[in-house]
Amino acid sequence: MTATFKAWLVDKQADASGNASQTATLSDLTDADLGPGDVDLDVHWSSINYKDGLALMGRPGVVRSWPLIAGIDAVGTVTSSDTDRFATGDEVLLNGAGLGENRHGGLAERARVVSASLVKVPEALGGKRAAAIGTAGFTAMLSVLAVERHGVTPNDGPVLVTGAAGGVGSIAIAVLARLGFEVVASTGRVDSQGDYLRRLGANSVIDRVELSDAGKPLQSQKYAAVIDAVGSTTLVNALAQLNYGGIATACGLAQGADLPGTVMPFILRGVTLAGINSVEAPLALREEAWARLATDLDAGLLDELTTEIALAHARNAAEQILRGELHGRTVVNVRG
């Protein structure tokens, strides 16, 4: 009898009129359903990110081939390997790299992955914490690295983090604070999340309405750097408030994918806008980011901002993340 495993499978159907829709179901699959790859895993942990929310709730824009196992994060142990980089029993993690988009993802008890982007789990973290960090925390660390490479130091002034209560924002605040930066957190939930954001290390918390409406092309210089997960007018206003020579990193579009601004901050203040692409990050950068996460993120604080759920509850969490009701990180105990 062929062994089966549980997985959240996204499929696409068309009605009689040709209108297509996506559905996600918790299904029983076999290894024969997995795609190509050179490393097989028993998956133990995954997480819920905004992209996972879209996929599990049938929203377009994430899944690009069907049927497909959802989940852009996977943490597990190697059961077989065709590469010398990994051996049976190694604990490994994979973020992005097409998981849950055009390759079967991590919201499943089994996975077959391509090792080109695969990283060993840092011993200081362990599997559950690595999954709690996930793509969101990995993206946050890539953003911090970009700020550092631009030459920004804690002595240069405060750093603004938008979408602060989300996964990227939460980890970014915690890392920046531990590195000694003054952090200003922007959120639409000041009353309910203010104490949480200060616990992470934010020095002050502002309402997102201060940034969400159109403003002047150049505004008072306030920030040495910005880590933005919101996009649209919020990012435009953040750029307008950067100090001369400052940097903004862009990794999300919670408000929108548009950028309704001008070139004025770039040509008059010499600011930089750096795009953060965690999906296609090269292996060396992945290893650097995870090594830094193991040292620059307070593990106890990470535990405080982590909620654990079972695989069967992933879609409920997906609905909550799309409604903006989740904060911090939601880790999926795939075998719990």
Tens digits of per-residue pLDDT, 176-229? 999 999 999 999 989 999 999 999 999 999 999 999 999 999 999 999 999 999
pLDDT at residue 327 is higher than 90? no
Q: How confident is the model at residue 320 (pLDDT cuts 50, 70, 90)?
A: very high
Nearest to 111, CA basis, from 84, 144, 81: 81
Q: How confident is the model at residue 14 (pLDDT cuts 50, 70, 90)?
A: confident
Question: For 5-121+305-333, which CATH superfamily applies?
Answer: Medium-chain alcohol dehydrogenases, catalytic domain (3.90.180.10)
* Mean pLDDT of all residues in 307-333: 94
Q: How confident is the model at residue 292 (pLDDT cuts 50, 70, 90)?
A: very high
Amino acid at 329: R
Alpha-helix residue ranges (DSSP H) falling in the chain: 50-56, 127-149, 167-178, 190-200, 209-212, 232-240, 264-269, 283-296, 299-304, 314-322
pLDDT at residue 7 is higher than 90? yes
User: 250 with 226: CB under 8 angstroms?
Assistant: no
Mean per-residue pLDDT over the chain, rounded: 96
* Mean pLDDT of all residues in 137-146: 98
Alpha-helix residue ranges (DSSP H) falling in 6-104: 50-56
Query: Which residues does residue 205 pair with via DSSP β-bridges, in sequence order?
Result: 185
How far is Cα 98 from Cα 61, in angstroms, rounded to an integer? 13
Residues 6+ apart with CB under 8 A from 311: 6, 8, 26, 46, 107, 109, 332, 333, 334, 335, 336
pLDDT of 272 reads: 98
Axis crossing angle, helix 283-296 with helix 127-149, rounded to the nearest 10: 110
pLDDT at residue 336 is higher than 90? no
Q: Which CATH architecture has domain 135-275?
A: 3-Layer(aba) Sandwich (3.40)
Residues 6+ apart with CB under 8 A from 37: 103, 112, 113, 114, 115
pLDDT of 20 reads: 83
In SS3 terms, 147-214 reads as HHHCCCCHHHCCEEECCCCCHHHHHHHHHHHHCCCCEEEEECCHHHHHHHHHHHCCCEEEECHHHHCC
pLDDT at residue 1 is higher than 70? no
Q: What three-state secondary structure class fits 254? A: coil
* Mean pLDDT of all residues in 97-112: 97
pLDDT of 324 reads: 84
How far is Cα 234 from Cα 237, in angstroms, rounded to an integer? 5
pLDDT at residue 156 is higher than 80? yes
Name the one residue in this structure whose structure tokens are 């969101």. Answer: 136
How far is Cα 272 from Cα 247, in angstroms, rounded to an integer? 5
* Mean pLDDT of all residues in 62-91: 97
- What is the domain partition of the chain in residue ranges? 5-121+305-333, 135-275
pLDDT of 85 reads: 97
pLDDT > 70: percent of the chain: 100
User: 168 with 194: CB under 8 angstroms?
Assistant: no
pLDDT of 329 reads: 92
